[in-house]
């Protein structure tokens, strides 16, 4: 008979068993027993954030950059509601997280107790699954299930709500080696016949195109995607979530596609005859208007782990449900045995066409400007970090420029809120990235609007000595809102001007960091170099950039991929 442990002890023991090294959280009444147990051990490190939203983003950045499950711990009521934005962010981008939330004691549930909310109800639509633990005997198995569900299949956040009395009660601690759930059996291997069909279709292509999304990153299949693309000699585009899945500096990369994708990627997407979609979901920001997409005939192969992503917005010809990594490995094997060969003449002609599109130089901008161009800052950041930094971003114009101008050659280096588009994501996510990669160079590309949504985390960065480099592209506007107002709302800039901005240099300094203000293009390089030289300091670089700059190309909402506004 082993010793009985309290629910709080069991919770921490489960995290230890899962090999969790770092969690992000904020204490409060309902989780005090859990915090007490955290205090008594040193295997699991706790990072105290300044707002629960940041705990979730940090756990998220930790997970995205390391392929581990991110863990957050929040209290009941407002602790949980503050965390919801972060949970929804992770859900939209399929990021594996386990969230442990405190709940009022079992006998108080439903009585409008202090700091009570229906956590399971509030989070239901934005988690992969959630649990309310009603019996201490279920606690360990529930946490095991949470880690299992979060990290398998299409990953996602899983929440475990633990009432305070459960954390006090005692039971024997048995951590199961594995869990079997009759209602949850994610597919891994793709169907052999479908893979064979896909191989035949690929070899028959005259104008092929590979379109890779976040699934490639999530399943760690960048190597396989690269092998496949180079073996076939096909062009490859990645979505915002797929950046780094194929080396962006390679000639076969057409860059990002979609609303702010490159001219060549969008045109090739529209006019290809065989499209291989890998871990991508044809969302509205990627293919624009599906009706316009149908104007051209093409055969589509779609590899995805989530059957509900297949034929959701666009009907496909060869669906393959399975883990991208497994399916690509099988597909490569099958392709190597096929006798049929690719029509090299047709492929060459297709590349000639693509090169003509590429010559359009859709990402050009004024390099002689006397005002700092935001694109230039990112281009310089890319050069100075030799393309080897972890880049997080917030949401807006700076995010698109980061995606366009920082050439990601490796996966898990580009960390952004693609699906939900959460402003305030960048800095807390960067904290998680830095903690998962203590030696890595981590930069957060942001804007003066986004950064203020979680600015309080400068304090967390100080406490844990996180030497982030914050690249603030300060154009005094919510730039993307301003751009839409310019294009679609008759230049009426309703509430998009950022008035009464703080002095970011002084602000950074007041938190104990280094602040730099850069106003001239010729000072950009020096500032970036200086920032990275200060290896153990957070440096907040406030770049005063061109207010009128817009993101191009742009596929306006409701338009087709080939209907881009070009610079």
Partner 1 sequence: MENEAGALSRVAGLFSARGYNIESLSVAPTEDPTLSRMTLVTIGSDEVVEQVTKQLNKLIEVVKVIDLNDGNHIERELMLVKVRAIDSDREEIMRLTEIFRGLIIDVTDKSYTIELTGTSEKLDAFLDAIKRSAVLETVRTGASGIGRGEWILKV
Report the catalytic residues. Answer: 52, 114-115, 164, 480
Give phi and psi for 130, each to the nearest 5. -145, 160
- Please say which residue, 75 or 130, places its beta carbon nearer to partner 1: 130
Q: Closest distance between partner 1 and the C-beta of residue 73, in Å? A: 22
- Please say which residue, 121 or 440, places its beta carbon nearer to partner 1: 121
Q: Closest distance between partner 1 and the C-beta of residue 311, in Å? A: 7
- Please say which residue, 313 or 364, places its beta carbon nearer to partner 1: 313
Q: Identify any residues that bridge with 72 across adjacent strands, giving them in sequence order.
A: 24, 99
Q: With residue 35 as reference, give the H or E element that holds it.
A: helix 32-39
Q: Closest distance between partner 1 and the C-beta of residue 191, in Å? A: 16
DSSP assignment of 279-304: S----HHHH--HHHHTTS--EEEEEE
Which residue matches tokens 């004024």?
366
Q: Closest distance between partner 1 and the C-beta of residue 128, in Å? A: 7
- Please say which residue, 135 or 359, places its beta carbon nearer to partner 1: 135
Write out 498-565 in H/E/C secondary structure: CCCCCCHHHHHHHCCCEEEEECCHHHHHHHHHHHHHCCCCCEEEEEEECCCCCCCCECCCCCCCCCCE
Q: Closest distance between partner 1 and the C-beta of residue 72, in Å? A: 20
What sign does the dihedral 210-211-213-215 (CA atoms) show? negative
- Please say which residue, 150 or 453, places its beta carbon nearer to partner 1: 150
- Please say which residue, 293 or 406, places its beta carbon nearer to partner 1: 293
Pure H helices in 219-288: 222-232, 263-271, 284-287
Is residue 116 within 8 A of residue 146, CB to CB? The reply is: no
- Please say which residue, 290 or 557, places its beta carbon nearer to partner 1: 290
Q: Identify any residues that bridge with 541 across adjacent strands, giving them in sequence order.
A: 471, 516
Which residue matches tokens 């599109």?
357
- Please say which residue, 118 or 523, places its beta carbon nearer to partner 1: 118
Q: Closest distance between partner 1 and the C-beta of residue 554, in Å? A: 28
Q: Closest distance between partner 1 and the C-beta of residue 15, in Å? A: 21
306-to-134, 188, 280, 286, 358 alpha-carbon distances in Å = 31, 10, 10, 18, 33
Residues with Cβ within 8 Å of 293's Cβ and at least 6 positions away in sequence, in order, are 270, 287, 314, 560, 561
Token readout for 345 is: 């003449």
Q: Closest distance between partner 1 and the C-beta of residue 68, in Å? A: 22
Q: Closest distance between partner 1 and the C-beta of residue 140, in Å? A: 18
Exposed/middle/buried for residue 488 (C-beta within 10 Å: 0-12, 13-18, 19+): exposed
- Please say which residue, 30 or 314, places its beta carbon nearer to partner 1: 314
CA atoms within 13 A on the CB side of 415: 35
451-to-174, 392, 464, 474 alpha-carbon distances in Å = 44, 12, 19, 10
- Residues of this chain that bind partner 1 (CB under 8 A): 120-121, 124-125, 128-129, 132, 149, 181-184, 306-308, 310-312, 315
No. of H helices and E strands in the chain? 22, 20
C-beta atoms surrounding 368 within 10 Å: 6
- What whole-number distance in Å separates Cα of residue 103 and Cα of residue 460? 25
Of 20, 25, 95, nearest in space to 53 by CA? 25
């Amino acid at each position: 008979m082993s010793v009985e442990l309290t629910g709080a002890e069991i919770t921490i023991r489960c995290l230890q068993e899962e090999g969790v090294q770092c969690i992000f959280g904020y204490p409060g009444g309902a989780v005090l027993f859990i915090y007490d147990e955290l205090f008594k051990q040193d295997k699991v490190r706790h990072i105290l954030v300044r707002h629960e939203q940041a705990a979730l983003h940090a756990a998220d950045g930790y997970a995205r950059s390391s392929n581990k499950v991110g863990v957050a711990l929040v209290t009941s009521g407002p602790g949980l509601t503050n965390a919801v934005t972060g949970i929804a962010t992770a859900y939209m981008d399929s990021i594996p997280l386990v969230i442990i939330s405190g709940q009022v004691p079992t006998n108080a549930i439903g009585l409008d107790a202090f700091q009570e909310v229906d956590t399971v109800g509030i989070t239901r639509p934005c988690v992969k699954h959630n649990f309310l633990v009603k019996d201490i005997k279920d606690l360990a198995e529930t946490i095991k299930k949470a880690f299992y569900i979060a990290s398998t299949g299409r990953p996602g956040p899983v929440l475990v709500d633990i009432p305070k009395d459960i954390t006090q009660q005692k039971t024997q601690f048995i951590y199961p080696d594995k869990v079997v759930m009759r209602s949850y059996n994610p597919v891994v291997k793709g169907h052999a016949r479908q893979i064979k069909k896909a191989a035949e279709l690929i070899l028959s292509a005259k104008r092929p195109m590979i379109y890779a999304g976040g699934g490639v990153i999530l399943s760690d299949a960048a190597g396989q995607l690269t092998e496949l693309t180079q073996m076939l000699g096909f062009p490859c585009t990645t979505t915002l979530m797929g950046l780094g899945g194929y080396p962006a500096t390679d000639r076969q990369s057409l860059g990002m596609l979609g609303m702010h994708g490159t001219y060549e990627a969008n045109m090739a997407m529209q006019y290809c005859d065989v499209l291989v979609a890998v871990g991508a979901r044809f969302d509205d920001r990627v293919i624009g208007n599906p009706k316009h997409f149908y104007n051209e005939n093409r055969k589509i192969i779609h590899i995805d782990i989530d059957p509900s992503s297949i034929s959701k917005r666009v009907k496909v010809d060869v669906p393959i449900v399975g883990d991208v990594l497994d399916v690509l490995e099988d597909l490569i094997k099958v392709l190597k045995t096929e006798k049929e060969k690719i029509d090299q003449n047709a492929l060459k002609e297709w590349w000639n066409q693509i090169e003509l599109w590429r010559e359009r130089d859709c990402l050009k901008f004024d390099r002689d400007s006397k005002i700092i161009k935001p694109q230039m800052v990112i281009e310089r950041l890319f050069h100075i970090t030799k393309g080897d930094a972890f880049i997080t971003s917030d949401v807006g114009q700076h995010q698109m420029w980061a995606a366009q101008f920082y050439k990601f050659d490796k996966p898990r280096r580009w960390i952004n809120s693609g699906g939900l588009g959460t402003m305030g994501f960048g800095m807390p996510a960067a904290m998680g990235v830095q903690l998962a990669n203590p030696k890595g160079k981590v930069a957060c590309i942001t804007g003066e609007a986004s950064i203020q949504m979680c600015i309080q985390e400068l304090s967390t960065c100080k406490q844990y000595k996180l030497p982030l480099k914050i690249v603030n592209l300060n154009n005094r506007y919510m730039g993307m809102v301003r751009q839409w107002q310019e294009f679609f709302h008759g230049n009426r800039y309703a509430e998009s001007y950022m008035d009464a901005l703080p002095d970011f240099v002084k602000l950074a300094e007041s938190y104990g960091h280094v602040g730099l203000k850069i106003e001239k293009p010729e000072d950009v390089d020096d500032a970036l170099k200086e920032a990275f030289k200060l290896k153990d300091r957070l440096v907040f670089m406030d770049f005063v950039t061109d207010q009128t700059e817009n993101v191009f190309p742009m596929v306006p909402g409701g338009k087709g991929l080939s209907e881009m506004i070009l610079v």
